[in-house]
Amino acid sequence: MASTVIGAGIVIEGELATEEDVAIHGVVRGKVDAKDAVTIEHGATVEADVAGSEVTVGGQLTGNVTASDRVVIATGARMVGDVKAARFTIQDGAQFKGHVDMDI
């Protein structure tokens, strides 16, 4: 389980910065910067640039992603934005519109 959890009924507007991993179930608008993993759960909406060691998109993300390790767009997820990561996976049934840079 993630160290930091943004609940389904929570809306954050602004910058979220954490040294821990974070799971987002609600809505975040602005910027997410984590030293560890960021998980955007199914049903969550993020309109922000996201940075972390590993970013998993299960809900909807509009924004650019930078990950030191990898980015995964899970089945049923939708992402619009650019990705910069060493590894990038798009699972069957996911939607992605953007550019990918794997030169890290």
Q: From 82, 81, 83, 85, select the one nearest 103 (Cα to Cα).
A: 85
Q: What pLDDT, in 10s, does the model give residues 2-38?
A: 789 999 999 999 999 999 999 999 999 999 999 999 9
pTM here?
A: 0.94
Please spell the DSSP secondary structure of 21-63, one letter per residue.
Answer: -EEE-SEEEEEEEESS-EEE-TT-EEEEEEEEEEEEESSEEES
Measured CA distances, 18 to 14, 45, 60, 92 (Å)? 13, 19, 21, 31
